[in-house]
Amino acid sequence: MNFDPVPFRVSIELGLWVTAILFVLCLPAAWIFARSTRPWLVWIESLGSMPLVLSPTVLGFYLLLLLSPKGPLGAFFLSVFGIRLAFSFPAIVIGSCVSSLPFMLGALKTGIVAIPSHILDASATLGKGRLETVFRVAIPNMRPAIFSGLVNTFAHTLGEFGVVLMIGGSIPGVTKVVSIAVYERVESLDFAGAQAYAIVLVGASYAGVLALNIAQRRAGRR
């Protein structure tokens, strides 16, 4: 059995990039969705939740059209920066951000909604600005939700298959993640190799879920 650890490195790098990017982007978005009463925001929020119900193959197909050299975003990057997005590491980062968006956004929004309004109102009464209120009041009170968003986003990205395969292919050391390595081993009837990759994925997933449940139980006791 030839066990190649490189797909794990690619998967971990992808997970870290996607989790960091989504946390930065989703925190202000979640704040707006949770605190604003504008009715048209539900249309945008529903669009962000589409990856939960949309087939990863369909999502990957449209992302491929978007990122290909003839697509709007792909053509822009190719002409301006000389970067070919399709079948590259940046492409699978973009695709995984879209695919994992609901996991981060939903967790952060739930955490913000759970903060009692009087705490935020008291901060405003004391003269704290909105930004200071977010960092000194909201974030400390939503740490379990933040942890949930980080764990779920990273775990989902680690197991991503359809979207990554559609827009990234299987380029060793670049876009070949663990889930694709498992698929290729099964396709070549190397079940021992597939199991070696799969066991690590199962162990990592269980560790993430266990850590999340422990954190939620501790938060509940407080």
Q: Which of 15, 1, 7, 3 is nearest to 170 (CA)?
A: 7
- What angle, 0 to 180 degrees and rounded to 10, lies between the N-to-C axes of helices 41-48 and 89-113? 130
Query: What is the arithmetic mean of pLDDT over 83-103?
Result: 93
Answer yes or no: is pLDDT of 97 > 90. Answer: yes
The highest-confidence range among 94-98, 208-212, 217-221, by mean pLDDT, is 94-98
Answer yes or no: is pLDDT of 32 > 70. Answer: yes
Return the pLDDT at 1: 56
Contact 26, 101 (CB under 8 A): yes
Question: DSSP 3-state assignment of 218?
Answer: helix
Q: So where are the chain's domains? A: 6-221
- Residue appearing with tokens 């999502």: 59
Cα separation, 57 vs 152, whole angstroms:
21
pTM: 0.88
Answer yes or no: is pLDDT of 207 > 70. Answer: yes
Return the pLDDT at 124: 66
**Mean pLDDT (the chain, rounded):** 88
CATH of domain 6-221: 1.10.3720.10
Which pLDDT tens digit goes with each residue over 38-52?
888 889 989 989 999
State the DSSP code for 126.
Answer: T
Alpha helices (runs of H) in 36-116, residue ranges in sequence order? 41-48, 56-67, 72-80, 89-113
Q: Which amino acid is at 131?
A: L
Query: What is the arithmetic mean of pLDDT over 144-165?
Result: 92
Min mean pLDDT across 88-92, 131-135, 182-186 is at: 131-135
Contact 80, 92 (CB under 8 A): no
Cα separation, 171 vs 47, whole angstroms:
30
Return the pLDDT at 220: 65
